[in-house]
């Protein structure tokens, strides 16, 4: 976790990334369980997610790195990242309260398409017609998943799309900040920013008597234990992702993100008896295929740029 560049080890990076992607949907399963069986509002669960993330990671970070953990060169940008992550997590947790886990994840995976479009529009990245077509096709796949969910859940079915947009802005800021701060510092500051944002959002939503922002304490020992697990997974699983990206290139690791759909489907079926129907599987297939095509085209373009820069 030092700021120095880790030696490349693609096989280890892929293993770490796969493990993190299998574990991360457990956070959302816990959020759905807390809303369904513990009657805790998504706003309160989101606050605890960031609060316990900081509580679980900060003491260890200080023990190892002292004040370096918070010595950000761009503190306000990192706090803004945390606020965006907090808002995205809130929308996601509200969505999983009402919708099956696999549906929410499938719709959410329009995020790579949004990030590609943002990079083209604001960072000047070259995106050819093939990738623009893949983006359009990917959104079409999302519509296949959204359509039956929209008939059942109404506008709530669009929450994963809004979540994906906010998270793509969060990742866009990661690229915009670059390497000004270490991943460790960025993760710690983002946790603090998410906690502050959710504290303010929770107070405001509760004051307006919005049900999904109702403030409460855990009603059982199991609930408290699950919230601690939620914060621990949030902090350490994302650090595993940071570690994976230091060991292997982005283009190699990006496809492993789709492992989350598999894990979410298994958890949704095991815990809540939710399973996507045939039409939703078609939409999921289109989204994944379009996303993998975009990743492949980015890898091809990267290789062609490197070869053109190599002196003859």
Q: How far apart are CA 254 and CA 13, in angstroms?
A: 11
**Residue 123, pLDDT score:** 65
pLDDT digits over 8-45, tens only?
777 888 888 888 888 999 999 999 999 999 999 999 99
pLDDT over 60 at 1, yes or no: no
**Residue 300, pLDDT score:** 73
Q: How far apart are CA 163 and CA 7, in angstroms?
A: 34
pLDDT over 80 at 122, yes or no: no
pLDDT digits over 158-179, tens only?
999 999 899 888 877 766 666 6
State the average pLDDT over residues 196-221. 94
Residue 297 region by backbone torsions, left for phi larger than 0, else alpha for psi between -120 and 50, else beta: alpha
C-alpha of 111 from chain center: 9
- Return the structure tokens found at 306: 């490197």
> What is the pTM for the complete model shown?
0.83
Helices and strands (H and E) in the chain: how many: 13, 0
Given a contact cutoff of 8 angstroms between Cβ atoms, the answer to whether 34 and 45 are in contact is: yes
The DSSP H or E segment spanning 186 is helix 183-207
Query: Which one of 62-71, 143-152, 222-231, 293-302 scores highest in mean pLDDT?
Result: 222-231
Q: Compute the Cα dihedral for 282, 18, 80, 6 and give only its sign.
A: negative
Given a contact cutoff of 8 angstroms between Cβ atoms, the answer to whether 247 and 8 are in contact is: yes
Report the b/e string of 134-171 with b at 16+ CB within 10 A. bbeebbebbebbbebbeeebeebbbbbbbbbbbbbbbb
Nearest one of 157, 166, 226 to 197, comparing CA atoms: 166
Q: How far apart are CA 62 and CA 68, in angstroms?
A: 8
DSSP string across 235-297: HHHHHHHHHHHHHS-HHHHGGGGGHHHHHHHHHHHHHH-----HHHHHHHHHHHHHHHHHHHH
State the average pLDDT over residues 189-208. 93
pLDDT over 90 at 140, yes or no: no
**Residue 312, pLDDT score:** 45
pLDDT digits over 219-273, tens only?
899 999 999 999 989 888 877 877 787 787 666 676 777 888 888 888 998 999 8
H/E/C letters for each residue in 47-75?
HHHHHHHHHHHHHHHHHHHHHHHHCCCCH
Domain chopping of the chain, boundaries: 10-303
**Residue 160, pLDDT score:** 92
Given a contact cutoff of 8 angstroms between Cβ atoms, the answer to whether 218 and 104 are in contact is: no
């Amino acid at each position: 976790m030092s700021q120095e560049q880790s030696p490349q080890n693609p096989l280890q990076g892929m293993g770490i990334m796969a493990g993190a992607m299998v574990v991360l949907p457990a956070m959302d399963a816990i959020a759905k369980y807390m809303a369904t069986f513990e009657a805790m509002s998504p706003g309160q669960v989101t606050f605890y997610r960031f609060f316990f993330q900081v509580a679980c990671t900060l003491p260890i970070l200080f023990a190892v790195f002292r004040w370096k953990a918070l010595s950000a060169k761009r503190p306000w940008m990192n706090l803004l990242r945390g606020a965006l992550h907090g808002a995205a997590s809130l929308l996601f947790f509200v969505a999983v309260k009402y919708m099956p886990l696999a549906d929410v994840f499938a719709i959410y995976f329009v995020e790579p398409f949004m990030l590609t479009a943002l990079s083209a529009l604001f960072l000047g990245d070259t995106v050819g017609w093939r990738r623009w077509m893949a983006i359009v096709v990917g959104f079409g796949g999302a519509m296949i998943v959204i359509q039956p969910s929209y008939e059942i859940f109404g506008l709530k079915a669009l929450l994963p799309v809004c979540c994906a947009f906010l998270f793509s802005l969060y990742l866009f800021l990661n690229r915009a900040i670059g390497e000004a701060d270490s991943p460790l510092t960025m993760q710690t500051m983002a946790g603090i920013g998410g906690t502050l944002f959710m504290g303010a959002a929770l107070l405001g939503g509760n004051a307006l008597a919005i049900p999904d922002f109702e403030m409460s304490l855990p009603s059982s020992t199991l609930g408290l234990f699950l919230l601690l697990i939620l914060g621990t997974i949030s902090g350490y699983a994302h650090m595993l992702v940071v570690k994976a990206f230091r060991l292997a290139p982005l283009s190699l690791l990006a496809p492993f993100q789709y492992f989350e759909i598999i894990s979410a489907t298994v958890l949704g079926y095991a815990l809540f008896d939710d399973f996507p129907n045939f039409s939703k599987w078609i939409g999921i297939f289109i989204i994944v295929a379009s996303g993998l095509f975009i990743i492949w085209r980015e890898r091809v373009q990267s290789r062609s740029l490197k070869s053109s820069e190599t002196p003859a």
